[in-house]
A and B are shown apart, each in its own frame.
Chain A
Amino acid sequence: MKSTLRSWPLIVLIFSMLCFSPSIIGQEELHYTGPFQVGNYTGEVDYTYQITNGDTLLQGPFNFRRSNLGALLNQKDKTFSFSGDFIDGYPNGPWQFLFGEFESDKKTEVIGYQYRVNINGIQKEAKGNISMGKPDGLWTISEALIADSKIKVTLFRSTINYADGVPQQSFRIEYGKSTLVGRFLRNGLAHDDWTMFGEGSTETWTFDDGVLTDIELGTEEERKSIPIYQESFGTFKIINLDTRFSQLLKLQLSENDAHSLQEGITMVLDENASHYKKLDDILSQLGPSEFMPMFKVKVPYAPLDSVENKQLVKIKNSYEDAQRLAKGLLENTQLNLLKRSDSEAQFLYEVVQHLNTFFVGPLKKLASYQQQDVLDYATREQLMNHLFAKGVPSKRVSVSLGEEELQFFELEDSDNYEFEAPAYESLSQIAQYANESLRHIADLLYKKVENEQQQQEFVTLEARMITQINQLNQVIDSTEASGKVLQALESIKTQAENNLNSYSTLAKTEGKLEKAQLLVGCLNTFQNLAQNIGSLPQKALEIQELYKDAVWNPFMANIMDEEVKKRITSAYHNVLIPHILTQVNSDLGCEKAIALNRLLVNLHNRMLQLRDEDTVKLERKLRKERNPNTVLELFNLQSLEK
């Protein structure tokens, strides 16, 4: 008991050292296990990391995976597993990537102490060494079709050697039934023959120190040779053998040759690149990496000078305007309709189509090459030949409409445009010419459409007016009203017809469409007014019924309806309604009709309200009052004059 007490401070010291030692070092290695996401991949991760200057730096083993047995048995499972190591945030050391997309046959088997499930699907695997984010040593990427848990067919397999990210020695890429083999110089430049052995055919790209000199392709019996860079060139540039290079090839080859190359080596290289891209996307999200393989080639370099660059900007602007105009015209539904009935419109429409195909189309290609940054690697002659295989288009656009003779379109100032100039100057002129032509045509066509539209609008509005007048007549013919109400209805009809007549005598001037619109609105008001006036007898009955109280008559011993608030109903029947009818019969204009409609609606509503309100004072004031405006004021309604 005594000795234990004496050793107590020592135990505390040792314990505290154990506890706090990592924090004393500062570079504490932390561990994380749990859910994690990289790009589209979500799963369980297991890694160690350090916090350095507030940043998370991966350090040591990294393991990220996902598989779901339930999903597999149920339908389909997408699984993945990435494992490797990091040093100071860089992927470094042996790495393996597995991607799978599996279904099971839903049959399980117990073997030993494990359940076994057979799977079918696709398995992709990539493994190799990484040195500070760059592939190093042999990298194998493969894709296989799995059936009954066994590899059935290898769909893709690429084996490439790297030294610090630079491809070395020979490589081999199998894709479907084709195999591409080739080799690199130490600096990654393609060299010697790259040959793809396909089914009964081969394709060979011959490189000389990174320069593609020939392409030979075809079957043993029928071979075709396409010369590429035969002559030595002065200025060159080393670029990656990627899609840009394919575009470059396309630019200098005939369409036919370019087409025959589409399914050969280019395709295999693209496929390989897409696999690397997938891995690079993952790695670059975890830390700095340059995983894309750099197959290198030499190409002649003829950069655009400052004048050409300026011209290119102009071309681009003109092209974009021209394209927008052409698209707008070609897709305009009204124009499409109009051209069926109007031969001039049809001619112009055809010209637009021609311009779109032979002017705007090549410019579009040019814009696409510019975007892919290949223009600096093509000669001007190559470019022009490629864009205008049949030669530079003529300024005089000829169009044949059916069996008629050719018709021509040419801008009046076409002499100011010079198509036979140095490449970019010429292109700039072509682009401007196309743009101006389209603008000119657009002016003509849109004016036509506008006229047509206006014409249509007149037709619609006038048809509407006729319908309105007919409806108005119907309302009046079918009314059971008589006396002053009928007289007022007739007056509305007369006025409406007068308005229509005076409209019909108008000349088709600028303001006529506006007048037509106004008249349609006005006739609509008259229609409403006719309805409102026509319903007056019925409204009067409604009010008469409303202003009744059931009263017990002691002499008769029965219930009788008694009229109440008689001064109000009398003002309504004997002052206001006659006043309104008089107004309808004298100088009825649209404005007045609107005011009358409003008054009729408001008056009826007010009558409904007054029935329930305390109206003793109002009734007293209404006594002997015969002036309609005073009555309206007493009713709290706006008089027509206001």
Chain B
Amino acid sequence: MWVVTLFFLIGTVQAQEGEVLPSESEYKDPKTKIWFNTYGNIRISKRLFWDAQTHFRFEESKNTPWIGQIGQVYNRHAIGYIYSKKVNFSLGGVLRVNFNTDEASEDRSVVPEFRIWHQYQFAMPLYNFMIYHRLRIEHRWTQDFPDESEYIFRNRWRYMFRAKIPLSNYKLEPKTLYVSPEAELIMQSGKAVVASPMEDLRLTATLGYILTPRLTVAAGMMYSQGQTLENGGIYKQNWTMRFHVYFSPDIRKVKNKLPAIHFED
């Protein structure tokens, strides 16, 4: 249902006020970036967990590709609800710190950004691998770097399809190398969005290794492109190296852990 809605939003495309749509779409040169992401999934009760993510995102500078300067520091938190082994929901907030990466700019160098987000994740086993559907909706307040910038409000509509396919084992279990292709489409809406509803399309290939049931590491390369907010005819592009650490400690007392796997009891 969400997916369908998302596609309707693509609708008619108009240029932002004051900007003229080019006769053909224009693609900016791709930027190179590197992200270090941590994902915490901290079990706090039988059905609740604390979703804690911290990302450090770097991007190229004039002289240094990939890791020339810090782009954003990103704190995403939520309380998650485990509906079943395959389905969970989260609701929480994001505080993102945006650094001014325009090296020529004389505006402020750092601005905060706030979001409220909720997410619906569905997993499906298929053959010996898993596929996942993730719907994430974000209500986002951003401001630009000039001193007098106003907060603008937008909604983001995100759908991600992902698979995790074990490479060195017959199933996803500890000591297993896996590959994870993923595709995410991020749409946006709001007063400020006139002609550029497709904010980002991300295509990623990740290689991961499950160290223990509670610790996994992964690294991948992502290509993304999307309409710039200023002009729907102009597309930005990125190549991003991503490094992930996934950890899921269980801070419950031992006696409350049992049985650890039965949610329906």
Contact = CB atoms under 8 A, between A and B. Distances in A.
Interface stretch (A62-70, A155-163, A556-564): A556-564
B123 interface: yes
Given A550-B261, A554-B41, A559-B85, 9 more contacts: A551-B214, A551-B261, A552-B260, A554-B43, A556-B210, A556-B216, A557-B86, A560-B213, A562-B213
| Chain B residues touching A, majority SS | strand
Contacts of B38: none
Contacts of A233: none
A559 B210 CA distance: 13
B115 interface: no
B49 interface: yes
B80 to A, nearest CB: 8
B92 to A, nearest CB: 15
B212 A562 contact: yes
Interface in B65-116: 80, 82, 85-86, 88
A625 interface: no
Contact of A557 (B49, B132, B213, B216): B132
26 contacts: A550-B260, A550-B261, A552-B260, A552-B261, A553-B172, A553-B213, A554-B41, A554-B43, A554-B49, A554-B80, A554-B88, A555-B216, A555-B246, A556-B130, A556-B210, A557-B85, A557-B86, A557-B121, A558-B125, A558-B172, A559-B85, A560-B174, A560-B210, A562-B212, A563-B174, A563-B212
Contacts of B210: 553, 556, 560
B39 interface: yes
B164 interface: yes
B144 interface: no
B260 A557 contact: no
Interface residues of B, number: 28
Nearest to A556: B172
Contact of B260 (A551, A555, A558, A563): A551
A559 B49 contact: no
A549 interface: yes
Interface in B33-77: 39, 41, 43, 49
Interface in A552-584: 552-563
B182 interface: no
A613 to B, nearest CB: 13
A259 to B, nearest CB: 97
A187 to B, nearest CB: 110
B143 interface: no
B174 A562 contact: yes
Contacts of B214: 551, 553, 562
Contacts of B173: 560-561
A561 B176 CA distance: 12
A603 B214 CA distance: 30
Indicate the member of A555, A558, A562 with the most B CB atoms within 10 Å. Answer: A555
B260 A549 contact: yes
Given A560-B174, A561-B173, A554 B132 contact: no
A551 B125 CA distance: 17
Given A561-B213, A562-B212, A562-B213, A556 B260 contact: no
Contacts of A554: 41, 43, 49, 80, 82, 88, 248
A110 B184 CA distance: 118
B130 A555 contact: no
B174 A557 contact: no
Contacts of B172: 553, 556, 558, 560
Q: Is the interface of A mostly helix, strand, loop or mixed?
A: strand
B31 to A, nearest CB: 28
Interface of B: 39, 41, 43, 49, 80, 82, 85-86, 88, 121, 123, 125, 130, 132, 164, 171-174, 210, 212-214, 216, 246, 248, 260-261
Interface in A507-557: 549-557
Given A550-B260, A551-B260, A552-B261, A558 B216 contact: no
Contacts of A551: 213-214, 260-261
B171 to A, nearest CB: 8
Nearest to A566: B212
B260 A553 contact: no
Nearest to B88: A554
Interface string A174-203: 000000000000000000000000000000
Nearest to A549: B260
A488 to B, nearest CB: 28
Contacts of A561: 173-174, 213
Nearest to B49: A554
Nearest to A616: B254
Contacts of A555: 39, 41, 216, 246, 248
B174 A552 contact: no
A554 B260 CA distance: 12
Contacts of A560: 172-174, 210, 213
Contacts of B246: 555
Contact of A559 (B80, B132, B212, B261): B261
A562 to B, nearest CB: 4
Nearest to A551: B213
6 closest residue pairs by CB, A with B? A557-B123, A560-B213, A551-B213, A554-B41, A562-B213, A555-B246
A552 B130 contact: no
Nearest to A561: B173
B49 A558 contact: no
Contacts of A558: 85, 123, 125, 130, 171-172
A561 B121 CA distance: 23
Nearest to A560: B213
Contacts of B130: 556-558
A412 B49 CA distance: 108
Contacts of A552: 85, 260-261
B75 to A, nearest CB: 19
Interface centre among A550, A559, A560, A563 (most CB of B within 10 A): A560
A82 B171 CA distance: 101
Contacts of B82: 554
Residue of B125, B174, B216, B246 with most chain A CB atoms under a 10 A cut-off: B174
Nearest to A558: B172
A51 to B, nearest CB: 85
A633 B254 CA distance: 27
Contacts of B164: 556
A306 B85 CA distance: 112
A524 B212 CA distance: 44
Contacts of A553: 172, 210, 213-214, 216, 248
Contacts of B248: 553-555
Contacts of A562: 174, 212-214
Nearest to A553: B213
A548 to B, nearest CB: 10
A560 B216 CA distance: 12
A563 B210 CA distance: 13
Contacts of B123: 556-558
A560 B246 CA distance: 15
Nearest to A559: B261
A94 to B, nearest CB: 100
A597 B261 CA distance: 39
A567 to B, nearest CB: 15
A562 B216 CA distance: 13
B49 to A, nearest CB: 7
Interface in A405-450: none
Contacts of A550: 260-261
